[in-house]
Structure 1
Amino acid sequence: MTDVKSEAASQGAGAAAESAPARFLKATELDTRMLGMLGALAVIWIGFHLLSGGLFLTPRNLWNLSVQSASVAIMSTGMVLVIVTRNIDLSVGSLLGFVGMVMGVTQAEFLPDLLGFGHPATWIIALAAGALLGALIGALQGFIIAYMGVPAFIVTLGGLLVWRGAAWWVTSGRTVAPMDATFRLMGGGPDGAIGAFWSWVVGIVACVALVLMLVHGRRQRRKFNFPLRPLWAEGFLATVGCALILGAIAVANSYPWPSGIVRRYFQAQGLPVPEDAFIAHGIAIPVLIAIGVGVIMTFLANRTRFGRYVFAIGGNPEAAELAGINTRWVVMKIFILMGVLATIAAAISTARLNAATNALGTLDELLVIAAAVIGGTSLGGGVGTIAGAMIGAVLMQSLASGMILLGVDTPLQNIVVGAVLVIAVWLDTVYRKRVKK
């Protein structure tokens, strides 16, 4: 009898131990798909770090990785809304190249004849012209899709060819350079970063914003009698979130300017060059732009009527239309937004390269779609997160960066990217089947 009781007790303890992770996830309300993606990212980083002989997880490589991920991350936030409504946009890479070429010609060849070289308004006019062009192209594609009933796959596949050809047509294949000095700041580099002090300021502000957001969310739950997370769960989320933010700031501030740039900097100031001079890059401006876009797009998707309409259309287009939602106008606005986001990405890519080339944005559409899908956006529509897509962009760029460090040929890199995309879609299919059950 005693043995039976002890066996039952051990089985009960085992069941309690098995349910502990489930209780933790329920208390913290963490997304299991997001945790899985972060786990996959950690495995990729550690694996490449070991295979590259300790070169991957260095401040220099991680800083460059963040800058390289910015343009794809920005476009992936718009691709989430496109895919959520059961559409697709294959033209974003070509659109990036075309708009980038137009902005390059505007500031390198057109405006200097009107305003002179180095005019302070040059970068503003070029960026505004690019944003207007991107919005118009997005409106054109969105109108054809939403109001003329042509499938998004066909329209944007045609756009992929049209805008790539248009990028070549603007300059007959020439590379346009250099870009305006202020415009180049959007591309990163020593001048395109905010330095150590302001990086810490941004980090502290972000931590305060995170804590206030958790406090506000708890108050709103109590106000409407929604279930509250345990206080320990709130503290855990705040602690981990702030630790990740400040850790990222520390990594950015650990990457110094190259010695040659430091020497020129002190010589320009008329000062002697210290032997142990250390000037930190800090957070790169394109990374700040990407984070800002992510915050705005998250608010747009989760806190506005437009965002609710987008997810309603993706969940059930017929029901959304019967509920009085102007589904065609919402879809058209999504493609307009996608055009503007492609313009921002084009500005970052062009500024980083300090030139507008015809190859700019080639195959970026695949990276953007892969980032959104890997980030949890379902091709079946109705499901997707902005944060997940941005992490997916970092994951895709991590694969590319790691393979470059290992000397993997470009064709094999494309094979890996394609395989990852197929696996991500397969996992999404499996996940949706389990949810339905």
Structure 2
Amino acid sequence: MAEKRKIEFDLRTYMMIIALVSIWIIFTITTGGSFLTPRNISNLFRQSVFTSMLAIGMVLVIIMGHIDLSVGSIVGLAGGIVAIFDVWQGMNPLLSIGITLLLGLIMGLWNGWWTAYRNVPSFIVTLGGLLIFRGILVGITRGTTIGPMGDLFYYLGKGYLSKEFGIIFAIIAAVIIIFIQWNGRRNKLKYNFEVLPLKLEIIRIIASVALLIIFILVLNAYRGIPVPLLVLTVFLALFSFITNKTIFGRHIYAIGGNTDAARLSGINIKQITLFVFMINGLMASLGGIFLTSRLNAASVAAGDGAELDAIAACVIGGASLAGGIGRVGGAVVGAIVMSSLDNGMSLMNVENFWQSIIKGLILILAVWIDMTTKNKELS
């Protein structure tokens, strides 16, 4: 019986991946095979990087029980700033990126300070930030589109790594996956936690490695690994480690799960809240840099509504708006789901208003399934 419960839990854990694969199969059938071509898969993941970066920062905020409505405006402002530095000022691209990321931290600091130290609800603070940052963007860009960007930004937005590098990356990633999953099993056994039967564990490891290799081969069948996807992979690994393996990460979950208990246990809630909003500002500014690089220009409309896509990605990926629940990996999977819907419906020539309706219905359905699952667990 214990094994059965464990298997059921794992199935729920991977439910979003199963749903994602199902979406891909449906679109492959409805588009006559166009969806799963190497070129389209490469473009899909390159396009999903933007929402994924926003979702990584947003999920930390949501886990703490807050919300950030200003990330779309931070994206636009960061993109405008880096474009001004690169196109108008001719600044060194690395320096312009560094300054832009620093300004993203400062914008996150602004949101976090009002929320943590002045007790203004994050909804109101970030709604104000949405208006403030967008207004600054219009002011500094004079309402014009700024471009084209330099060679480094073109590479960041549209560049690909060599196919040889893809093979090396697949080997290294496969070794890391085997080590993490096997080491995790040993640690659970050490502390008498429930684990999958050995045969199922081996099958899971083999399946994970096989999917990785297939994915890299598909990307190599087109032009190789997109540069933005590699950068996203690094940040995904980094923040997965932070949330799962560090005291800082555990404090984020503790605050979102029960703020009063976290305070009584000695957690510095104000400081953690400030840091999380700063991280969110950093990730939003990074997303702005990559969006501007991909579009090869900055405009006053850049990032408009992006905060809603980021929130939707987090919720679809399993995060609870009540706080205390969510994973970085789940948020990224949610972002890929959102991008897959956009990509697939565009290939089917679905009109824009239908795309919005369908994505809204899927968001509601995802939350309903999550709430139903939780109610069954409690009953």
User: Which TM-score band applies after superposition, normalised by the shorter structure?
Assistant: over 0.9
Paired residues of 1:67 and 1:284 also in contact (CA < 8 A): yes
| Residue 197 of structure 2 is aligned to residue 230 of structure 1 | yes
- 1:231 positional shift: 2.3
Aligned amino acid, residue 93 of structure 2: W
Give % identity.
40
CA separation of 1:355 and 1:224: change in aligned 2, threshold 3 A: same
State the Cα deviation string for residues 205-263 of structure 1 (Å, max 9, x = none).
000111111232233334444445432122112101101100100110111xxxxxxxx
One of 322, 346, 371 as aligned partner of 2:288:
346
Partner of 1:76: 55
Q: 1:106 maps to which residue? A: 85
Larger displacement relative to structure 2 (196-205 or 45-54): 45-54
- Please name the residue that 1:381 is paired with: 323
Query: What letter is aligned with 2:72?
Result: G
Map 1:148-163 → 2, pairs under 5 A: 148-163=118-133
Q: 2:216 aligns with which of 249, 252, 256?
A: 249
Question: Which residue of structure 2 aligns with residue 291 of structure 1?
Answer: 233
Cα distance in 1 for partners of 2:141, 2:168 equals: 43
What amino acid maps onto 2:6 in structure 1? K
**Aligned with residue 397 of structure 1, among 339, 346, 352:** 339
Letter in 1 for 2:242: L
Q: Structure 1, residues 182-216: CA drift from partner, whole Å, max 9, x if none?
A: 1221112xxx1112110011011000111111232
1:165 aligns with 2:135: yes
Aligned residue number for residue 14 of structure 1: none
Amino acid at match of 1:138: G
After superposition, the Cα gap between the structure-2 partners of 1:174 and 1:73, relative to the gap in structure 1 and judged at 3 Å, is same
Corresponding residue for 1:426? 368
Q: Which has the higher contact order (CA 8 A, sep 6+)?
A: 2
Q: Distance in 1 between matches of 2:360 and 2:271?
A: 33
2:61 matched to 1:91? no
One-letter identity of the residue aligned with 1:198: F
RMSD: 1.7
| Deviations 1:357-411, CA, capped at 9 Å, x for gaps | 1111111111110110000001111111111111110000111111111112222
Q: Is the 8 A contact 2:6 2:195 kept in 1?
A: no
Q: Match of 2:309? A: 367
Residue 31 of structure 2 corresponds to residue 56 of structure 1: no
Query: Distance in 1 between the 2:313 and 2:107 partners?
Result: 23
Q: After superposition, what is the alpha-carbon deviation per residue over 1:398-431, rounded to whole angstroms, capped at 9, x for unaligned? A: 1111111111222222222222222222222222
Matching residue's letter, 1:236: I
Residues 219 and 45 (structure 1), Cα distance of their counterparts in 2 relative to 1, 3 Å cut: closer
Paired residues of 2:50 and 2:291 also in contact (CA < 8 A):
yes
Shift in Å, 1:163: 1.5
Residue 64 of structure 2 contacts residue 323 of structure 2 at CA under 8 Å; is this kept in 1? yes
2:102 is aligned with 1:143: no
* Mapped partners of 1:31, 1:222: distance in 2: 17
Rounded Cα–Cα distance in structure 1 between residues aligned with 2:5 and 2:137: 49
* Gap regions ≥5 residues in structure 1: 1-18, 113-121, 256-280
**Cα deviation, residue 296, structure 1:** 0.5
The whole-number CA distance in structure 1 between the counterparts of 2:341 and 2:13 is 18
**CA-to-partner distance for each residue in 1:236-292, whole Å, 9 max, x for gaps?**
12101101100100110111xxxxxxxxxxxxxxxxxxxxxxxxx111010011111
Counterpart check, 1:26 vs 2:6: yes
Amino acid at match of 1:130: T
Q: Separation in 2 of the partners of 1:41 and 1:221?
A: 29
CA 1:313–1:42 in structure 2 vs 1: closer, same or farther (change >3 Å)?
A: same
Residue 371 of structure 1 aligns with an amino acid whose one-letter code is A
| Whole-angstrom CA distance in 2 between matches of 1:316 and 1:429 | 19
Task: Work out the CA distance in 1 between the residues paired with 2:377 and 2:39.
Answer: 41
Q: What is the aligned counterpart of 2:22 among 31, 40, 43?
A: 43
Unmatched 5+ stretches in structure 2: none
Is the deviation greater in 166-175 or in 386-395? 166-175
Aligned to 1:208: 175
Aligned 8 A contact 1:187 1:286 in 2: yes
* 1:332 aligns with one of 274, 290, 295: 274
Distance 1:224 1:351 in 2: 47
Aligned to 1:240: 207
Look up the match of 2:99. 129
Matched, 1:313 2:283: no
Residue matched to 1:118: none
Indicate conservation of the 8 Å contact 2:6/2:194, yes or no: no
SS at match of 1:31: helix
* Counterparts in 2 of 1:33 and 1:89: CA distance versus 1, 3 Å: farther
Deviation of 1:57 after TM superposition, in Å, equals 1.1
Q: Which residue of 2 aligns with 1:179?
A: 149
For 1:178 and 1:195, the matched residues in 2 are separated by: 25
Alpha-carbon contact 1:375-1:384 (below 8 Å) kept: yes
Deviation at 1:95, TM superposition (A): 0.8
How many Å separate the matches in 2 of 1:154 and 1:31? 38
Conserved 8 A contact 1:34-1:375: no
